[in-house]
């Protein structure tokens, strides 16, 4: 649309039809028939006065004027915008105000050098783009955005006829002239540019944030790697020294363990030898005891008291010795267990002492490892914090970008989806009638209408009497009628405008035109011929025509 200005010399002028033939009629109405229909409806709408208690005088027709309502059709991004030439309609664009990005950018630049200041900046501004600063509105004068109205206007546009030298007499004051439309387009373009700049600025902030954060994260990762390397060097050197110390003390304790084991083995070996001797002696005693029993029995049989007493003494002594051996064997078993227990205890103590000393040597290594791990965890937390805060802020920015992009899409998709190469100024005819009574005025509009046939309304023909003409013209579009009624309301509310419109309408008053009476009378005859008027109605309307059209 930067080439908007070149269209000033190539504006296409066009005029819409007042009536559109229905599917049954097909053939457009003649001009005199349109005028006759309007005159008939004007007379039917006029208040004839009367009343039972206080009789009111009848309304008089001040004027019947044909006016043209102007519409601008302007190319816009492959579509067409429609502007209200009389400026009754305008479009207000509501939009959200961004937080001050310049302050954010300045703070970001001032703090991005060091990790500490940058982290503090992110933390402090973690919700900077969470909400918009407020709401605002942009008024585009004259722009029509009522979809139903636009659709109805465009449905009529193919029927509009181009005119080379349009009459300005019938056209309403062009409040939105070419320069005003151009200004509105430029306002729309300017607002679009603001939204585009917002998207670019927000996108640039997001990219800068990501780039700065990645730079600091890379620096932190490099510092982590360097910390690992320096720590590994120190630990490796210390481990080499510890390994020598540990090896030396291990040998000392190995010797102690070996000595304890050897002493225990020697004691156990001695006790085991004693055990073996006692076991052999016990076995011999058991055999000897059996022999003693046998000798005692034999001496008893021989009645050799001396031998019997001898062997009884031997039997008793052997049994006593057997008991002593059994007791000693148990003592030996207990002593061996105690020696083994003491050996295990000593070995365990030596191993514990060795482990404790080795642990003492490793304490420095653990301290270095703990210091290294603490630094790494701190750096990793810094990375996580940077990523989390950056992601949060960029998420907020992206949501604002999406809102702006939605607003841009709405602007770029404004208007009707039809591409036009040139600007069109199309005028829509309608009739404005003014009735007067007791110095008071009443305005009625007759909007563009669909012209029916009697066949088209034959099903309800009987209900249409009298004056079937009421159903001949049916408003083509309720939104267009609403717009014209807004025009009437604006007249009532603005005395200066009313004076201006009255002057135009009085100048364009068809009742004062010589040809009006002749054309309307012929048109009434044709309407009667079609069955819209009875002979009585025709006569009454012609009589009334003669009264008002002089």
Q: Report residue 245's pLDDT band, with 50, 70 and 90 as the boundaries.
A: confident
pLDDT in tens, 502-518: 999 999 999 998 899 99
From 426, 485, 473, select the one nearest 448 (Cα to Cα): 473
pLDDT tens profile 359-378: 888 888 889 889 989 999 99
CA geometry: angle 3, 6, 12, nearest 5 deg? 115
Confidence of residue 153 (pLDDT cuts 50, 70, 90): very high
Given phi > 0 = left and psi -120 to 50 = alpha, else beta, which region is 453? beta
Q: What is the mean pLDDT of residues 257-269?
A: 89
What's the average model confidence in pLDDT over 249-266? Answer: 89
pLDDT digits (tens, 9 = 90+) for 451-483: 988 776 654 454 445 567 888 899 999 999 999
Give yes or no for residue 172 having a pLDDT over 90.
no
The pLDDT of residue 239: 86
Q: Would the pLDDT of 341 be above 80?
A: yes
CB 7 within 8 A of CB 422: yes
| Confidence at residue 457, expressed as pLDDT on a 0 to 100 scale | 62
pLDDT of 179 over the 70 cut: yes
pLDDT at 52: 61
Q: How far is CA 66 from its chain centroid?
A: 52
* Structure confidence at residue 266 as a pLDDT band (50, 70, 90): very high
Q: Are 511 and 549 in contact (CB under 8 A)?
A: yes
- Residue 171 pLDDT greater than 80, yes or no: no
Q: Is 414 exposed, middle or buried (0-12, 13-18, 19+ CB in 10 A)?
A: buried
Provide the pairing of β-strand 91-97 with 449-451.
unpaired
Across the range 204-233, mean pLDDT stands at 94
pLDDT, average across residues 420-443: 93
Write phi, then psi, for 446 (nearest 5 degrees).
-115, 105
16-30, 290-304, 461-475: segment of lowest average pLDDT:
461-475
pLDDT value of residue 91: 95
- pLDDT of the residue at 17: 95
Q: What is the full DSSP assignment across 256-318?
A: HHHHHHHHHHHHHHHHHHHHHHHHHHHHHHHHHHHHHHHHHHHHHHHT-HHHHHHHHHHHHHH
Mean pLDDT of 197-223: 95
Q: Please report the pLDDT score of residue 459 as a whole number.
A: 45
Asked whether residue 55 carries a pLDDT value surpassing 80, the answer given is no
On average, the pLDDT of the chain sits at 90
Concatenated DSSP letters for 120-147?
Answer: HHHHHTTTTTSS-SEEEEEEETTB---H
**Residue 3, number of CB atoms within 10 A of its CB:** 7
State the maximum Cα–Cα separation within the chain, in Å, rounded to a whole number: 193
Most confident of 46-50, 245-249, 307-311, 441-445: 441-445
> Residue 122 — very low, low, confident or very high, per pLDDT cuts 50/70/90?
very high
Please state the rounded mean pLDDT for residues 286-306: 90
Contact 470, 44 (CB under 8 A): yes
Residue boundaries of the structural domains of the chain: 4-98+133-176+419-548, 233-386
Q: Mean pLDDT lowest for which of 107-111, 170-174, 254-258, 508-512? A: 170-174
pLDDT at 243 over 60: yes
- Please determine, for residue 396, whether its predicted confidence score (pLDDT) is greater than 50: yes
CA separation for the pair 233, 46 (Å, rounded): 108
pLDDT in the model for residue 384: 95
pLDDT (0 to 100) of residue 7: 42
In tens, the pLDDT along 90-119 reads 999 999 999 999 999 999 999 999 999 999
pLDDT at 458: 55
Q: Is the pLDDT of residue 216 over 80?
A: yes
The highest-confidence range among 8-12, 21-25, 209-213, by mean pLDDT, is 209-213
Q: Which residue has the higher pLDDT, 313 or 514?
A: 313
In Å, how far from its chain's centre is CA 80?
29
CATH T-level topology, domain 233-386: Helix Hairpins (1.10.287)
């Amino acid at each position: 649309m930067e080439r908007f200005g070149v269209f000033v010399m190539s504006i296409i002028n066009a005029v819409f039809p007042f009536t559109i033939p229905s599917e049954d009629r097909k053939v457009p109405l003649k001009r005199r028939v349109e005028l006759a229909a309007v005159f008939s409806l004007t007379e039917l709408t006029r208040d004839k006065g009367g009343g039972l208690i206080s009789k009111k005088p009848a309304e008089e027709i001040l004027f019947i004027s044909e006016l043209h309502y102007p519409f601008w059709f302007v190319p816009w991004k492959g579509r067409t915008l429609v502007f209200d030439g009389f400026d009754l309609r305008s479009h207000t664009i509501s939009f959200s105000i961004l937080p001050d990005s310049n302050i954010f950018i300045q703070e970001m630049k001032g703090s991005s050098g060091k990790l500490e200041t940058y982290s503090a900046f992110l933390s402090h501004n973690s919700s900077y783009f969470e909400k918009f600063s407020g709401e605002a509105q942009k008024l585009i004068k004259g722009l029509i955005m009522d979809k139903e109205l636009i659709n109805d206007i465009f449905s009529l546009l193919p029927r509009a006829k181009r005119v080379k030298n349009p009459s300005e007499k019938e056209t309403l004051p062009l409040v939105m002239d070419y320069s005003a439309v151009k200004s509105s387009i430029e306002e729309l373009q300017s607002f679009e540019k603001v939204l585009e700049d917002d998207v670019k600025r927000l996108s640039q902030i997001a990219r800068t944030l990501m780039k700065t954060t990645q730079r600091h994260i890379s620096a932190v990762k490099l510092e982590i790697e360097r910390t690992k390397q320096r720590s590994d060097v120190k630990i490796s050197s210390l481990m080499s020294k510890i390994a020598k110390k540990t090896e030396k003390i291990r040998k000392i304790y190995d010797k102690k363990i070996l000595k304890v084991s050897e002493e225990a083995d020697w004691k156990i070996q001695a006790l085991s030898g004693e055990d073996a001797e006692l076991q052999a002696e016990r076995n011999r005693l058991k055999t000897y005891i059996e022999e003693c029993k046998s000798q005692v029995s034999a001496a008893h049989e021989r009645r050799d008291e001396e031998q019997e007493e001898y062997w009884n003494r031997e039997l008793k002594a052997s049994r006593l010795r057997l008991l002593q051996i059994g007791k000693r064997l148990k003592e030996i078993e207990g002593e061996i267990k105690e020696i083994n227990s003491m050996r295990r205890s000593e070995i365990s103590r030596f191993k514990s002492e060795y482990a404790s000393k080795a642990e003492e040597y490793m304490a420095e290594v653990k301290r270095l490892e703990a210091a290294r791990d603490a630094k790494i965890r701190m750096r990793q937390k810094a990375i996580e914090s940077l990523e989390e805060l950056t992601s949060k802020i960029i998420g907020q920015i992206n949501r604002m970008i999406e809102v702006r992009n939605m607003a841009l899409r709405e602007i770029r998709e404004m208007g009707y989806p039809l591409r036009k190469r040139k600007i069109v100024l199309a005028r829509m005819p309608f009739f404005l009638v003014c009735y007067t009574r007791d110095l008071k005025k009443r305005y009625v509009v007759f909007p563009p209408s669909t012209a029916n046939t009697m066949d088209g309304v034959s099903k309800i023909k009987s209900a249409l009497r009298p004056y079937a003409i009421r159903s001949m013209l049916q408003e083509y579009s309720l939104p267009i009628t609403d717009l014209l009624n807004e025009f009437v309301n604006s007249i009532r509310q603005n005395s200066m405008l009313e004076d201006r419109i009255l002057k135009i309408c009085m100048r364009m008053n068809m009742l004062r035109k010589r040809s009006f009476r002749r054309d309307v009378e012929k048109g009434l005859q044709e309407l009667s011929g079609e069955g819209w008027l009875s002979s009585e109605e025709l006569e009454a309307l012609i009589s009334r025509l003669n009264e008002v059209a002089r």
